[in-house]
């Protein structure tokens, strides 16, 4: 009897825990229909080097499907797969397992897992059959030629299927990009720009189930470093005018012609974040920055790459991305205001271009983001904070998004490291939302 009462009480607490207070147009850490891993890196040369891990968690008792898309740092889709989650399930993913060994996460719904050994359920969890997953879950290992394709695409080299380039060639054999994860109602190999992926009110393949949550870690065992934070949680709402009115800026707006049928809230455009270069944090500060180019690079059955080589202002035509303005403040409130361009692509060599791609890691005070005080600026700039207005008008996408063509959603993490000891990652403070973008530079 006591066990029954305890079980009922626990179910009640779990149900109450699902009633998180969420506000559309405010990116908060609540269960969501889409998760964004804004940046990943995997050292393909060193088995003990950099790798990225993330988790996908189900906040509800209802079993769900999650569709994962791996994108290059220039936003070309490279790989997609499905994850089945029983109620209250968690699935952890090490990207090295996929990119180096070709091993996709092993999950299966009840129909493909009759003995309940691949995705076992707990006593509070639903476990159902998704018939569409027959033949897709659990997924087989990637063949060697596809592993090669993924590695070449994510390191900016000419890949072996279409002889095209997918990303920046930085020459260090580190795979870079970002990941999106959506709730879906069937196993699918569609990409977000494919017809039928979204439908108004969650009637497409993608659903509006706000049940996913997760976190990420970038780990470097060679340097005894790890950093991590929450994934970006993006809620869906089919009734809020900001996420259901044609012409409004939604997260996947570029993929559905800004019809808002994805119903996803957009991210922020302007951020404040601390930087520290010295003292305890001897490794300094780097920024992990995801941005929206507002351009679609075709995926699915059609080659998603660019003609090699990647060329500033030519391929892709929005690259490098500009920004409305950056202000660097030291701890005496003295500013440095680098020259910026509000247009993309930016004039080459004439303005600061610290965040040219859709995703990147940038060292504060490094070659891409120098801090060069002049004789008129007072005090040290080893410590301070950054004001980042990342809005930009993409010249090859005039009038997009219709509600505010100059708005451009983004996300910023600030990571600080003490080499050989520890690292931390902090979300940038969002000063606005792309629902109503702020266009202001101090």
pLDDT at 305: 84
pLDDT at 378: 61
Tell me how many degrees the CA angle 254-260-262 measures, rounded to the nearest 5. Answer: 80
What mean pLDDT is predicted for residues 67-72?
97
Q: Which is it for the CA torsion 226, 383, 426, 387, positive or negative?
A: negative
Task: Kindly report, residue by residue over 423-439, the tens digit of the pLDDT.
Answer: 899 999 999 999 999 99
Residues 215 and 55 sit within 8 Å (Cβ to Cβ) = yes
Token duo for residue 33: 């229909």
Secondary-structure breakdown of the chain: helix, strand, coil percentages, each rounded to the nearest 5? 10, 30, 55
pLDDT confidence band for 377 (50 / 70 / 90): low
CA distances in angstroms from 2 to 5, 7, 9, listed in the order given: 5, 9, 10
Pairing of strands 393-394, 343-344: parallel
What mean pLDDT is predicted for residues 388-404?
96
Per-residue pLDDT at 296 exceeds 50: yes
Which residue from 189, 204, 196 is spatially nearest to 301, judged by alpha carbons?
189
Task: Kindly report, residue by residue over 5-61, the tens digit of the pLDDT.
Answer: 444 444 444 444 445 567 999 999 999 999 999 999 999 999 988 999 999 999 999
| Residues constituting the chain | 442
What is the DSSP code string of 213-226? E-EEEEEEGGGTEE
SS3 assignment, position 166: coil
- Counting residues of the chain whose pLDDT is more than 90, the rounded percentage is 79
What pTM was computed for the model?
0.93
Residue 230 or residue 4, greater confidence = 230
Computed over every residue of the chain, the mean pLDDT equals 91
What mean pLDDT is predicted for residues 226-252?
97
pLDDT at 21: 63
Cα-Cα end-to-end distance for the chain: 65
Q: Any residues with CB less than 8 A from the CB of 361 and at least 6 apart, and which?
A: 39, 41, 176, 286, 287, 288
Most confident of 45-49, 177-181, 313-317: 177-181
Residue with tokens 């850490």: 29
Read off φ and ψ for residue 268, nearest 5 degrees.
-85, 170
Read off φ and ψ for residue 197, nearest 5 degrees.
-65, -45
Task: Kindly report, residue by residue over 87-128, the tens digit of the pLDDT.
Answer: 999 999 999 999 999 999 999 999 999 999 999 999 999 999
Token duo for residue 150: 């993924």
Q: Any residues with CB less than 8 A from the CB of 12 and at least 6 apart, and which?
A: none
SS3 assignment, position 15: helix
Task: Kindly report, residue by residue over 144-169, the tens digit of the pLDDT.
Answer: 999 999 999 999 999 988 889 999 99
Please state which of the ranges 95-99, 172-176, 245-249, 310-314 shows the lowest mean pLDDT. 310-314
Residues 381 and 395 sit within 8 Å (Cβ to Cβ) = no
Is the bond preceding residue 4 a cis peptide, omega within 30 degrees?
A: no
Rounded Cα–Cα distance for residues 356 and 336 (Å): 20
């Amino acid at each position: 009897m006591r066990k029954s009462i305890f079980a009922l009480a626990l179910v009640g607490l779990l149900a109450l825990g699902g009633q998180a207070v969420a506000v559309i147009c405010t990116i908060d850490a609540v269960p969501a229909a889409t998760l964004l891993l804004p940046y990943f890196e995997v050292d393909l040369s060193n088995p003990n080097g950099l790798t990225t891990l993330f988790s996908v968690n189900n906040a509800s008792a209802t079993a769900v499907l999650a569709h994962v898309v791996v994108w290059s740092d220039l936003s070309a889709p490279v790989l997609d797969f499905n994850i089945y989650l029983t109620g209250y399930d968690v699935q952890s993913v090490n990207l090295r397992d996929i990119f180096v060994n070709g091993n996709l996460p092993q999950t299966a719904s009840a129909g493909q897992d009759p003995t309940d050994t691949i995705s076992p359920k707990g006593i509070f969890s639903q476990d159902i059959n998704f018939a569409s997953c027959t033949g897709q879950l659990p997924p087989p290992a990637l063949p060697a030629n596809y592993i090669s394709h993924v590695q070449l695409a994510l390191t900016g080299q000419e890949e072996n299927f279409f002889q095209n380039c997918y990303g920046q060639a930085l020459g260090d054999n580190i795979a870079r990009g970002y990941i999106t994860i959506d709730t879906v109602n069937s196993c699918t190999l569609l990409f977000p720009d494919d017809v039928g992926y979204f439908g108004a009110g969650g009637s497409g393949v993608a659903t509006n189930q706000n049940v996913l949550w997760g976190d990420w870690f970038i780990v470097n065992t060679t340097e005894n470093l790890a950093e991590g934070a929450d994934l970006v949680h993006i809620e869906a709402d089919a009734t809020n005018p900001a996420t259901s009115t044609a012409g409004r800026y939604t997260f996947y707006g570029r993929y559905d012609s800004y019809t808002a049928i994805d119903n996803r809230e957009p991210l922020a455009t302007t951020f404040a974040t601390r930087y520290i270069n010295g003292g305890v944090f001897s490794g300094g500060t780097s920024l992990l920055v995801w941005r929206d180019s507002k351009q679609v690079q075709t995926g699915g059955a059609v080659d998603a790459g660019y003609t090699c080589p990647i060329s500033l202002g030519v391929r892709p035509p929005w690259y490098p991305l500009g920004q409305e303005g950056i202000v660097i403040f030291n701890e005496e409130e003295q500013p440095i205001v680098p020259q910026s361009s509000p247009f993309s692509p930016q004039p080459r060599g004439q303005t600061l271009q610290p965040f040219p791609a859709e995703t990147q890691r940038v060292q504060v005070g490094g070659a891409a983001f120098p801090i060069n005080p002049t004789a008129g600026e007072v005090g040290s700039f080893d410590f301070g904070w950054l004001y980042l207005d990342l809005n930009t008008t993409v010249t090859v996408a005039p009038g997009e998004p219709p509600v505010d063509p100059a708005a451009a959603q983004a996300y910023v993490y600030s990571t600080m490291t003490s080499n050989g000891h520890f690292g931390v990652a902090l979300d940038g403070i969002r000063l606005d939302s792309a629902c109503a973008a702020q266009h202001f530079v101090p």
